[in-house]
């Protein structure tokens, strides 16, 4: 049986992503922090982890990328999860009874217009699923939570309204991480991180290795190097797999020009609009 670590309480959006990718038979292992996901895999408590790396609205999750650089786990898959926020409360609560709404600050911000139109007071909570868990354990009159449909099912809360997020295209991208390498796929993507020498044209030369071989880049983002102030590393995703000759040639060219290169993993490209 496959055990998969995720950050948050049971019912978190990460657990929804886990079930979307691995199915309901997988054993989900909650962790308090992103670091806990890596530790659980490294210590053999989990086979894989599901790690959120970016959101279509909020952008990249920097902590996740920093951990990918400092640990030696491999990316073997990606998941795109539409974030659908649901308003929930203990059974018997009516919509007109609601006065206060709890959730993680990011979820509250993503439903800001919906809450403001109804005059409800937002109350920041440590976690989306945690707000549902705590409300179920300690019901309060006039209080609702914003969390996933899975959280409502787990904690026995009644969904009062669905899809209350202000933006319909709120999608989070996750990496599947572990010790395994994914086999080549017809639609593959590769993720890596590299640094360049501190001289003019160095980044242009590195990226040119991909451009002249017509390899499409799908993500490029810089992060500060933790051991060198005002120097940067670059996280890069591109279409293709290291078993392809053109990709091998591009990677050899990159290795000859970069200060360092770390391959994070190659994996099947996921559908950006999952159903």
How many angstroms separate the CA atoms of 215 and 209, rounded? Answer: 9
Question: Contact, 54 vs 21, CB < 8 A?
Answer: no
Q: Is residue 224 part of a domain?
A: yes
Q: What is the mean pLDDT of residues 69-93?
A: 97
User: 174 and 42 in one domain?
Assistant: yes
Pair of tokens at residue 45: 């408590």
What mean pLDDT comes out for the span 66-75?
A: 96
Q: Is the pLDDT of residue 59 over 90?
A: no
> Which has more pLDDT, 231 or 49?
49
- What confidence tens digit (pLDDT) does each residue in 134-146 have? 999 999 999 999 9
* 82-121 pLDDT per residue, tens: 999 999 999 999 999 999 999 999 899 999 999 999 999 9
Asked whether residue 99 falls in the same domain as residue 222, the answer is no
Domain count, the chain: 3
Phi/psi at 122 (5° precision): -80, 140
CA proximity to 144, closest of 188, 94, 187: 94
Does residue 273 register a pLDDT over 80? no
Instruction: Please give the structure tokens belonging to residue 246.
Output: 């053109």
- As a whole number of Å, the end-to-end CA separation of the chain is 25
For residue 275, is pLDDT > 60?
Answer: no
**pLDDT of 204:** 97
> What is the average pLDDT across 256-266?
97
User: What per-residue confidence (pLDDT) applies to 213?
Assistant: 98
For residue 169, name the pLDDT band (cuts at 50, 70, 90): confident
The CB density around residue 156, as the number of other CB atoms within 10 Å, is 11
pLDDT-derived band at 25, boundaries 50, 70, 90: very high
**Is the same domain home to 70 and 113?**
no
Half-sphere exposure of 230 (CA within 13 A, CB side): 1
Q: Indicate whether 144 and 242 sit together in one domain.
A: no
Would you say residue 274 lies in a domain?
no
Q: Are residues 124 and 247 in the same domain?
A: no
Whether 113 contacts 119, CB under 8 Å: no
How far apart CA 175 and CA 77 sit, in angstroms, is 6
Residues 235 and 132 in one domain: no
Query: What are the backbone angles phi and psi of residue 141, rounded to the nearest 5°?
Result: -65, 135
Torsion over CA: 9, 14, 20, 23 (sign)? negative
pLDDT of 189:
98
Which tens digits make up the pLDDT trace of 153-164?
A: 999 999 999 999
Q: What does the pLDDT average to over 64-71?
A: 96
Question: Which residues form the domain of 210?
Answer: 188-268
Do 256 and 123 lie in a common domain? Answer: no
132 and 78 in a common domain: no
Distance CA(267)–CA(191), nearest Å, equals 9
| 197 and 65 housed in the same domain | no
Q: Are residues 90 and 220 in the same domain?
A: no
pLDDT at position 50 is 98
Asked if residues 263 and 75 have their Cβ atoms less than 8 Å apart, the reply is no
The residues assigned a catalytic role are 172, 174
pLDDT digits (tens, 9 = 90+) for 189-245: 999 999 999 899 999 999 999 999 999 999 999 999 877 888 899 999 999 999 999
Give the pLDDT band (50/70/90) at residue 58.
confident
Answer yes or no: is pLDDT of 274 > 70: no
């Amino acid at each position: 049986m496959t055990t998969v670590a995720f950050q948050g309480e049971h019912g978190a959006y990460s657990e929804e992503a886990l079930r979307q990718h691995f199915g309901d038979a997988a054993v989900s292992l909650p962790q308090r922090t992103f670091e806990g996901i890596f530790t659980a895999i490294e210590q053999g408590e989990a086979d894989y982890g599901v790690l959120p790396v970016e959101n279509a609205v909020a952008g990249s999750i920097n902590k996740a990328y920093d951990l990918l650089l400092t640990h030696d786990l491999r990316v073997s898959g990606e998941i795109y999860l539409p974030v659908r926020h649901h308003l929930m409360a203990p059974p018997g609560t009516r919509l007109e009874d609601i006065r206060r709404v709890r959730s993680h600050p990011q979820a509250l911000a993503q439903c800001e217009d919906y809450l403001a139109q109804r005059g409800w007071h937002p109350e920041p909570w440590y976690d989306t699923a945690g707000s549902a868990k705590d409300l179920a354990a300690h019901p309060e009159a006039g209080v609702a939570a914003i969390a996933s449909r899975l959280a409502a099912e787990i904690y026995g809360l009644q969904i009062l309204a669905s899809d209350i997020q202000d933006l319909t295209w709120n999608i989070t991208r996750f990496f599947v991480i572990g010790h395994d390498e994914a086999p080549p796929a017809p639609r593959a993507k590769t993720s890596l991180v590299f640094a360049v020498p501190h001289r003019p044209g160095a980044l242009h030369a590195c990226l040119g290795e991909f451009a002249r071989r017509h390899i499409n880049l799908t993500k490029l983002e810089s992060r500060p190097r933790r051991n060198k102030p005002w120097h940067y590393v670059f996280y890069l995703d591109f279409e293709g797999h290291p078993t392809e000759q053109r990709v091998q040639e591009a990677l050899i060219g990159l290795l000859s020009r970069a200060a360092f290169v770390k391959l994070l993993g190659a994996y099947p490209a996921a559908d950006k609009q999952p159903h």
